[in-house]
Amino acid sequence: MTTKTERINVRCSEDSLKLLRDAAELQGQDLTSFIMGASLERARAVMAEERVLRLSPAELLQVESALESEAGVNPQLAALVRAVHGVQHVST
């Protein structure tokens, strides 16, 4: 487990603090664990989204075009399916 040496101070309204405390209690967590868990989950989602969805406008148009076009036969995939299908019939 990582040693906890850093501190974060957060200001919030009384209503926000009550909501956070109530939610933490419902989850059986202390306030710090609840806030850190939710914050880290959101931070990981933001980081993953940033890594995955970083497309230029030209790349985005290319993706949209590919999604809108008619599906075609991939010759290599078709050959693989035929090969697997043929093997399954021979062995059964």
The pLDDT of residue 90 is 46
The 10s digit of each residue's pLDDT in 46-78 is: 998 877 767 788 988 998 998 999 888 899 998
Q: What is the DSSP letter of 11?
A: -
The 10s digit of each residue's pLDDT in 4-38 is: 899 999 999 999 999 999 999 999 999 999 999 99
DSSP character string of 21-58? HHHHHHTT--HHHHHHHHHHHHHHHHHHHHHHS---HH
pTM of the shown model: 0.54
Q: What are the extents of the domains in the chain?
A: 10-68
